[in-house]
């Protein structure tokens, strides 16, 4: 059993929305879990114990990305400044039709390298060729909730394929992999397919990761075609009878929020994408007041260009103040609660992630605090939300294993990843007229 001992780092504690920094703490890690945190812990007499100098570093819970399409980093910068319809139909869906399983593997590794460098230890990924993403999780050492996205037009046989993926990979990679089902969205599946998905999820004992109510148009279309909102369709088809990650959910009605408050579903919030695609905004207090968990997400780099959760954290807090035209909205502590406690709840791991405490998984990011941009350290929690950046992350631990130390990745060969992807870029950037994985409704 691997063991780590972090000496003398500062530790972020949330204390119910009143963040505090505990100075000069030691963190003892045994296997995958935090064993103890305190000042001047005795260094265990254990030959296998690896000591990490934490002086000058701030320990935070490993950041969580609750909704991503990790391999889309392959398309970073390829689709800019177009409408949502064009983004899907002219670019992303045609580009994705080029992807092979091997492309997805290397794309997933690129995205995981970026996430680890940004202090992200967990990701809920929603894509296809997910065996390859699972293999990348094995390699990278991250923790992941993986769902194989499926469209209604792909039919029940493909849904069954995604069920077999769930069975193949559940609990693998030392327990770091959780597998769920991933019907794409109500508007791309329809109620019958959602019912089938819900039955399958119940039988498998897993949750469902799905996009819902991303735009006002989607809600209007659902009301017109089905007489109910997309969220209500999830409820009526049984999807919300299992744990659920709801990607975006920017346009829930008040009734939708009430529905969500009674089930085991959380909302994955990716504000950079919403700004960039002009999708509008949600006043998050509506969800928080109803007790609906909200977590941070990056969405895919095709829209958000990065897989950087600190960036999304900052944008979330800024946009909420803007949405309410009130600078007292979403204070620092509340933003951090969403980033840590909320994201852990969305991943259905509220008891094991999102805080640094004995018994929790040893998923930890250690941030340098010596940058001029985070000086003075009058309020390190405010610095974390408004001044820090991913490049401040020095060391990353997941499941008790070191993934990065002194900014050097230990599990991923960056040059190999770049070389593999470079050789594929020309093919990946082609678009064949009429060839696309799905069609976004106009």
- 314 close to 339: Cβ distance less than 8 angstroms: no
Q: Where are the alpha helices (DSSP H) in 170-253?
A: 186-189, 191-204, 216-226, 230-236
DSSP string across 418-440: HHHHHTTHHHHT---TT--S---
Query: In this structure, what DSSP letter does residue 355 have?
Result: S
Q: Which stretch binds its own copies (CB under 8 A): 200-208, 218-226, 229-237, 307-315?
A: 307-315
140 binds its own copies (CB under 8 A): no
Handedness of CA 338, 342, 346, 352 (dihedral sign): positive
- Binder of its own copies out of 30, 69, 76, 211 (CB under 8 A): 76
Considering only residues 279 through 298, tell me which ones interact with its own copies, judged by CB under 8 A: 279-281
Considering only residues 97 through 136, tell me which ones interact with its own copies, judged by CB under 8 A: 110, 113-114, 117-118
Containing 146, the helix (H) or strand (E) segment is: strand 143-150
Considering only residues 320 through 379, tell me which ones interact with its own copies, judged by CB under 8 A: 321-322, 324-332, 371-379
Q: Which stretch binds its own copies (CB under 8 A): 51-59, 191-199, 349-357, 389-397?
A: 389-397
3-class state of residue 368 by DSSP: strand
The distance of closest approach from Cβ of residue 39 to its own copies in the complex, given in angstroms and rounded to an integer, is 22
- Binder of its own copies out of 78, 288, 290, 410 (CB under 8 A): 78
Q: Which stretch binds its own copies (CB under 8 A): 26-34, 144-152, 199-207, 418-426?
A: 418-426
Considering only residues 15 through 74, tell me which ones interact with its own copies, judged by CB under 8 A: 73-74
Q: Which stretch binds its own copies (CB under 8 A): 23-31, 146-154, 224-232, 275-283?
A: 275-283
Q: What residues contact residue 423 under an 8 Å CB cut-off, 6+ apart? A: none
The distance of closest approach from Cβ of residue 158 to its own copies in the complex, given in angstroms and rounded to an integer, is 29
The distance of closest approach from Cβ of residue 208 to its own copies in the complex, given in angstroms and rounded to an integer, is 28
Q: What residues contact residue 425 under an 8 Å CB cut-off, 6+ apart? A: 74
Closest CA relative to residue 141, chosen from 176, 178, 93, 94: 176
Measured from the CB atom, the residue of 120 and 181 that comes closer to its own copies is: 120
Query: What does each C-alpha distance from 204 to 89, 153, 198, 349 come to in angstroms?
Result: 33, 22, 10, 18
The distance of closest approach from Cβ of residue 306 to its own copies in the complex, given in angstroms and rounded to an integer, is 5
389 binds its own copies (CB under 8 A): yes
- 230 close to 187: Cβ distance less than 8 angstroms: yes
Beta bridge partners of 179: 146
Measured from the CB atom, the residue of 48 and 415 that comes closer to its own copies is: 415
Measured from the CB atom, the residue of 29 and 79 that comes closer to its own copies is: 79
Considering only residues 239 through 268, tell me which ones interact with its own copies, judged by CB under 8 A: none
Size of the site for its own copies (CB under 8 A): 71
Measured from the CB atom, the residue of 10 and 26 that comes closer to its own copies is: 10
Query: What does each C-alpha distance from 433 to 83, 93, 95, 307, 442 come to in angstroms?
Result: 18, 11, 11, 30, 18
């Amino acid at each position: 059993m691997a063991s780590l001992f972090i000496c003398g780092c500062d530790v972020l504690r949330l204390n119910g929305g009143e963040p505090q920094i505990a100075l000069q703490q030691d963190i003892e890690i045994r296997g995958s879990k935090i064993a103890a945190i305190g000042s001047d812990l005795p260094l265990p007499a254990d030959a296998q114990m690896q000591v990490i100098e934490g002086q000058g570093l701030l320990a935070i819970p490993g950041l969580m990305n609750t909704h991503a399409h990790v391999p889309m980093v392959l398309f970073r910068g390829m689709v800019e400044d177009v409408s949502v319809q064009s983004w899907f139909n002219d670019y992303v869906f045609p580009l994705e039709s080029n992807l092979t399983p091997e492309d997805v593997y290397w794309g997933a590794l690129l995205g995981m390298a970026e996430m680890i460098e940004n202090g992200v230890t967990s990701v809920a990924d929603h894509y296809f060729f997910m065996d390859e993403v699972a293999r990348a999780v094995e390699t990278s050492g991250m923790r992941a909730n993986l769902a194989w996205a499926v469209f209604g037009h792909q039919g029940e046989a493909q849904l069954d394929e995604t069920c077999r993926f769930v069975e193949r990979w559940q609990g693998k990679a030392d327990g770091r992999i959780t597998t769920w089902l991933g019907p794409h969205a109500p508007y791309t599946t329809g109620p019958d397919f959602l019912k089938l998905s819900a039955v399958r999820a119940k039988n498998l004992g897993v949750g469902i990761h799905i996009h819902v109510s991303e735009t006002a148009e989607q809600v209007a279309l659902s009301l017109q075609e089905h007489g109910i909102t997309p969220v209500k369709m999830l409820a009526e088809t049984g999807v919300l009878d299992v744990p659920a990650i709801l990607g975006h959910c920017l346009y829930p009605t008040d009734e939708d929020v009430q529905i969500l408050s009674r089930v085991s579903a959380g909302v994955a919030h990716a504000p950079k994408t919403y700004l960039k695609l002009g999708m509008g905004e949600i006043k998050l207090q509506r969800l928080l007041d109803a007790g609906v968990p909200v977590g941070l997400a990056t969405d895919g780099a095709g829209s958000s260009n990065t897989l950087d959760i600190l960036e999304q954290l900052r944008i979330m807090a800024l946009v909420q103040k803007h949405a309410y035209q009130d600078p007292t909205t979403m204070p620092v502590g509340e933003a951090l609660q969403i980033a840590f406690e909320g994201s852990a709840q969305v991943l259905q791991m509220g008891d094991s992630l999102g805080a640094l405490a004995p018994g929790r998984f040893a998923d930890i990011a250690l941030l340098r605090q010596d940058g001029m941009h985070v000086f003075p350290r009058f309020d390190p929690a405010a610095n974390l939300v408004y001044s820090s950046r991913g490049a401040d992350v020095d060391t990353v631990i997941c499941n008790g294993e070191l993934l990065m130390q002194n900014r050097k990745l230990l599990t991923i060969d960056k040059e190999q990843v770049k070389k593999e992807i470079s050789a594929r870029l020309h093919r990946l950037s082609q678009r064949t007229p009429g060839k696309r994985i799905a069609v976004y409704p106009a």
